[in-house]
Structure 1
Amino acid sequence: MVTVEQRPAVRAGRPPRRTSIQLKYVMAATGAVMLLYLVAHMVGNLKIFFGAEAIDEYAAWLREVGEPALPYETVLWLVRVVLAVSVVAHIVSATILARRARRARPVRYAHRKPVQGSYAARTMRWGGVIIALFVVYHLLDLTTGTLNPHGVHGEVHANVVADFAPERWYVTLVYTLAVVAVGFHIRHGMWSALQSFGRSSAATQNTLKGVALGVAVVLVAGFLSVPFAVLTGLVA
């Protein structure tokens, strides 16, 4: 019989397990918010295939939605605030969990046994850094127009065409690498989120991985279709 005296003492300063689980829930929930935003953003981008008027009117509608009940751009700014909070919470949670994982094994093994894992799982950290840097550039390029060669507010079609023009092939290359990194991040993150919410079992592992891969491929293809359409002259 185990008495109170025989129970192992809790290590001082050790965070309770439930806190780490809660952080995983935060990562999963904020990841879902960002995924929904990416889907909506991709659908909006595809309007460029319907002509300049279609995508420019869509961009104007995003700023006017909610009027006159709400002031101009209110809904758009609410979306931006929710997205920004989600990004910060996601990064903070990931950082805390990563530090706890390192503290749990302070001494590296002399001979580490190879662990099977996907490319995305092994590169989630630096992939996240690449994505964060790209988001900053993307905002300065196609949101504020600071780095865009056209950079006229409201002229979305003209800004996109100027940005991904054939002579600016290097912009398309960087955009492609960043979007592919997003795809890997989504693929692994979505699968991990489903596990965090208890939606995964040994019998459904492959199915969940297939769904996550499918969503990632669709998003990558959708986002890359725009710059490559401009690069090849399909959109001009």
Structure 2
Amino acid sequence: MALATRSDRKPPRKPPLPPTFWRSTLGKKTVMAVSGLIMLSYLIAHVLGNLKVFFGPGEFNAYGHWLRTMGEPVLHYEWGLWIVRVALLASVVAHAVAAYQLSRRDIRARPTPYAHKPRRANYATRTMRWGGIILVLFIVWHLLDLTTLTVNENAQPGHPYENVVATFSTWYGNVIYIVAMLAVGLHIRHGFWSAAQSLGVGNATRDRVLKTVANLLALTLTVCFISVPVAVMTGVVS
């Protein structure tokens, strides 16, 4: 007599799929590193443009006009600028999402906090977290201030030099900008070295050089950015 086969037998479970690049911890760290370097490249270009304010309204306003016409005649008016804006927005979103998900993953991996977390690691974590929040809020303010001119009471459309002077002629414009630039400096100082580790550039022999480069980059960018509001406050730029 033939044995009856069981019809309710469950099919064998398929092995779990390997994690995709984005789902892996390494993938998220790589995305953070690459997006951070894209934003760093933008900051370097941006501060070089900002320093043109010391050469007078003619040169600075010409630079503002060039930003809107770059790529012509291949690109239409402001297309090049919008391409840069979209790329930056994608970098900011990717950076923020990867940072948040890595933070949540770290918490889930260690539900019980460290009894004695290293002071240096704790300081770096707080700096990156709160610095990131400050920078996101500043980006919103900066766009409303010098792009849409919504919160700049004395703004003149088409006159970027005069608008920079107007915003840094107010105490709150200076405070917001300087605090944000200090946050930028701290973010770069910790983030540059972390990006190097994530991309496999760092090692025992290069760490000292990488940290020195990170410190110099952070200090140089911070000083150059802050020099503009200080110049307006002291009358060097008016």
Does the pair score TM above 0.5? yes
- Give yes or no for the alignment of 1:127 onto 2:127: no
- SS of the residue corresponding to residue 123 of structure 1 reads helix
Partner of 1:201: 203
Map 1:23-102 → 2, pairs under 5 A: 23-102=28-107
- SS of the residue corresponding to residue 235 of structure 2 reads coil
Q: Which among 217, 220, 237 is matched to residue 218 of structure 1? A: 220
C-alpha distance in 1, partners of 2:220/2:95?
A: 23
**Letter in structure 2 aligned against 1:226:** V
Partner of 1:181: 183
Check whether the contact 1:164–1:227 (CA below 8 A) recurs between aligned residues: yes
**Letter in structure 1 aligned against 2:89:** A
Partner of 2:6: none
- SS of the residue corresponding to residue 94 of structure 1 reads helix
C-alpha distance in 2, partners of 1:144/1:38?
A: 20
> What is the Cα deviation at residue 15 of structure 1?
6.6
C-alpha distance in 2, partners of 1:154/1:187?
A: 35
> What is the Cα deviation at residue 202 of structure 1?
1.8
Q: Which among 139, 146, 150 is matched to residue 150 of structure 2? A: 146
Look at both structures and tell me which one has the larger radius of gyration over its CA atoms: 2
> What is the Cα deviation at residue 13 of structure 1?
11
> What is the Cα deviation at residue 203 of structure 1?
2.4
> What is the Cα deviation at residue 163 of structure 1?
0.9
> What is the Cα deviation at residue 14 of structure 1?
11
C-alpha distance in 2, partners of 1:42/1:201?
A: 30
C-alpha distance in 1, partners of 2:85/2:187?
A: 21
**Residue 70 and residue 114 in structure 1: after superposition, are their counterparts in 2 closer, same or farther (change >3 A)?**
closer
Q: Percent identity?
A: 51
- SS of the residue corresponding to residue 235 of structure 1 reads coil
Deviations 1:5-33 (A, max 9, x none): xxxxxxx9997898100110000000011
Paired positions, count: 221
- For structure 1, the 5+ residue unaligned runs are 1-11
C-alpha distance in 1, partners of 2:99/2:41?
A: 20
C-alpha distance in 1, partners of 2:113/2:66?
A: 55
> What is the Cα deviation at residue 50 of structure 1?
0.4
RMSD: 2.0
Map 1:150-169 → 2, pairs under 5 A: 150-165=154-169, 168-169=170-171
C-alpha distance in 2, partners of 1:187/1:140?
A: 27
Partner of 2:3: none
> What is the Cα deviation at residue 164 of structure 1?
0.8
> What is the Cα deviation at residue 108 of structure 1?
2.8
Check whether the contact 1:120–1:187 (CA below 8 A) recurs between aligned residues: no
- Structure 1 runs (4+) deviating above 4 angstroms are 12-18
Check whether the contact 1:149–1:159 (CA below 8 A) recurs between aligned residues: no
**Residue 104 and residue 204 in structure 1: after superposition, are their counterparts in 2 closer, same or farther (change >3 A)?**
same
**TM-score between the two structures when normalised by the length of structure 2:** 0.88
**Residue 169 and residue 225 in structure 1: after superposition, are their counterparts in 2 closer, same or farther (change >3 A)?**
same
Q: Which among 105, 112, 116 is matched to residue 113 of structure 1? A: 116
Check whether the contact 1:34–1:86 (CA below 8 A) recurs between aligned residues: yes
C-alpha distance in 1, partners of 2:111/2:69?
A: 54
**Letter in structure 2 aligned against 1:56:** N
**Letter in structure 1 aligned against 2:148:** T
